[in-house]
Amino acid sequence: MFFFLRCLQRFVLATCLLGWSVGAQALTMTQARGMAEGDTDARLQVLNQALLQADAATATFLQALADDQVKFSGDTVWVLRDGQSFSPVDGSAQAMPADAQDVVSNNRMRGEIDAALAALRLLSPDNAVRMKAAQALIKEPDLAKAPLIAKALAAEGRDDIRQALLWAQAAIEITSEDTAQRIRAAQALAQAKTPEVQLLLNQQWAVESDAQVKAQIGAALRDIQAALAWGERWGVLFTGLSLGSILLLVALGLAITYGLMGVINMAHGELMMVGAYATYVVQGLFRQYLPGWFDAYLIAALPVSFLTAALVGAAMERGVLRHLYGRPLETLLATWGISLVLMQAVRSLFGAQNVAVENPSWMSGGVQVLANLVLPWNRLFIVVFAMLVLVGMALLISQTRLGLFVRGVTQNRAMASCMGVHTARIDTIAFALGSGIAGLAGCALSQVGNVGPDLGQGYIVDAFMVVVLGGVGQLAGTVYAALGLGVLNKFLEGWTGAVLAKIAVLVLIIVFIQKRPQGLFAMKGRSAEA
């Protein structure tokens, strides 16, 4: 019954676009009154009867019930729309008395109404809508829907949707009294390989009394579990790559300030925070002044976050760090103090509570790869963005005049100065560049979590580990170390938990550094200290 109702909803939706049908209506006022008020069982009985001959009026009335837009008085029912009252039978405008009562539906009634509306969507001209409706039938099998599923199967032309309907039919037949039918249903459901079917079969296995059927259900469950296991493995791998991309973004800026310049910048995490709050400010400006262009705010936030963090970094280098080169302990303490100042400044301006940065609409949702594997767009954005930043930074360092000067100052400051390179200016530019990349990291991180004053504290230690493990000043090593640590950390979390995984990764890095102090890739070339 429900299945036929869903089929009718497809017709309903198309009809509603043109208005109420002028032909004969299957819905009667008696049925509408019966569905609106009374005992729940009685209302459901009337609902099922109405679904047998459902039409556009039936679907529209059910949608109004779901939206709490129905009132009744005596034997008459009205549907509310745009502040006016209409007859649920023919859609004509009718006056409604002041004493009309609201229809009250409990959770059971609402669930049945939603199921009926979902069934109607099987007649939608949109393939995606029909597929979603068919999948919904698998989650909530009901014997009363079997005739509707059969009607939908007869009318469906797409193979993938037909297959979903067959699984929905099997989900109903798995509870049949016929042993052979239950076995066939278990064999059919074994091909679905979805978490919903796995849950359904687990429930049936727990109550199944026939040994043969139970064995078939067990075999189906093993097949589904084996298929879902691959989805879980790929999910862990993607999560690890996502975490590795975040670490890469964080570590790229540090690879310049620490790896190339030798400055232990404990305020690097706070520079990320500055970039994240710059993104938050840009979002607020777009929401207030350019609401129609809100989805484009992230494009504007990228250069703003880079420039804001770069300016803060340049001020740090000019005002403090320039006087502390060659004194690593004093540099560490000074940057730690600057990090505290930046955090307190943010707390004073934006408050101590986290602020939410909303994803643009084009970053919402994800890509359905497997039944139990969805790749979120915001995570995919970070992976791609990290790669783009990496390529841009590599080209800057290796192919530009600025990159040549940075490499020259890094490898031999005295010789570079003798060749006419303004080393002090290069120091400022390089530090501002590293700080700007940290700001970009903060902008990207704002898309996957809340933004707060302590945003950078959770990444600074991991970023230093990435730079040291990869090899000081080596971009290739930074990439391998970031992605490797991200994947390794996520795989270990599945066995040991998050805390023990962090400890295990730290121990492994310490052991590795003891054996290979130069990291994965050693710095090549001569230095002034050599």
- Most confident segment among 173-177, 278-282, 380-384: 278-282
Please give the share of the chain, as a percent, with pLDDT higher than 70: 85
The whole-number pLDDT of residue 301 equals: 92
Tokens of 372: 């139990």
Give domain limits for the chain: 2-132, 231-515
Please list, in sequence order, all residues whose beta carbon lies within 8 angstroms of the beta carbon of residue 235, skipping any fewer than 6 positions away: 372, 373
Please indicate whether residue 142 or residue 280 has the higher confidence score (pLDDT).
280
**pLDDT at 3 > cutoff 60:** no
> Do residues 460 and 268 make contact, with C-beta atoms less than 8 angstroms apart?
yes
Cα–Cα distance measured from residue 472 to residue 468, given in angstroms and rounded to the nearest whole number:
6
Q: How far is CA 443 from CA 283, 312, 446, in A?
A: 11, 15, 5
Q: Is the pLDDT of residue 501 over 90?
A: no
pLDDT classification of 498: cutoffs 50, 70, 90: low
pLDDT at residue 473 in the model: 58
Q: Is the pLDDT of residue 528 over 70?
A: no
Q: What is the mean pLDDT of the chain?
A: 79
Supply the Cα-derived Rg of the chain in whole angstroms. 32
- Per-residue pLDDT band for 521 (boundaries 50, 70, 90) equals low
Name the CA dihedral angle for 288, 289, 292, 294, rounded to a multiple of 10 degrees. Answer: -60
Confidence of residue 203 (pLDDT cuts 50, 70, 90): confident
Query: Taking 90 as the threshold, does the pLDDT of residue 420 lie above it?
Result: no
Question: To the nearest whole percent, how much of the chain has pLDDT over 90?
Answer: 8
In this predicted structure, the answer to whether residue 233 has a pLDDT above a threshold of 80 is yes
Q: For residue 474, what pLDDT is reported? A: 66
Report pLDDT for 523: 54
Stronger pLDDT, 304 or 33, i.e. the higher one: 304
pLDDT of residue 434: 86
Q: What is the 3-state secondary structure (H, E, C) of 42-101?
A: HHHHHHHHHHHCCCHHHHHHHHHHHCCCEEEECCEEEEEECCEEECCCCCCECCCCCCCE
Is the predicted pLDDT of residue 306 greater than 50, yes or no? yes
pLDDT of residue 24: 38
**In this predicted structure, which of 54-58, 264-268, 360-364, 462-466 has the lowest mean pLDDT?**
54-58
* pLDDT the model gives residue 308: 94
101-102, strands of its sheet edge to edge: 84-86, 76-81, 70-73, 101-102
Q: Is the pTM of this model over 0.85?
A: no
Cα separation of 303 and 386, whole Å? Answer: 15
CATH placement of domain 231-515: 1.10.3470
pLDDT value of position 518: 62
Rounded Cα distance between 333 and 193, Å, is: 56
Pairing, β 76-81 against β 84-86: antiparallel
Beta-sheet strands, E only, within 244-340: none
Q: Which residue in this structure is represented by tokens 């310490």?
A: 510
pLDDT at 280: 93
Q: Taking 60 as the threshold, does the pLDDT of residue 5 lie above it?
A: no
The confidence score (pLDDT) of residue 286 equals 92
pLDDT band at 409 (very low <50, low <70, confident <90, very high): confident
Average pLDDT rounded to a whole number, residues 244-263: 78
User: Is the model's pLDDT at 18 over the cut of 60?
Assistant: no
In this prediction, residues 215-243 reach a mean pLDDT of 86
| Distance, CA of 250 to CA of 443 (rounded, Å) | 11
Q: Among the ranges 21-25, 143-147, 406-410, which has the highest mean pLDDT value? A: 406-410
Average pLDDT over residues 169-180: 83
* Whole-angstrom distance, CA of residue 163 vs CA of residue 183: 18
Question: What's the one-letter identity of residue 337?
Answer: G
Q: Which two tokens stand for residue 385?
A: 């963005």
More confident residue, 524 or 18: 524
Which of residues 467 and 390 earns the better pLDDT score? Answer: 390
pLDDT (average), residues 34-48: 84
Mean pLDDT of all residues in 109-113: 82
What mean pLDDT is predicted for residues 398-408?
81
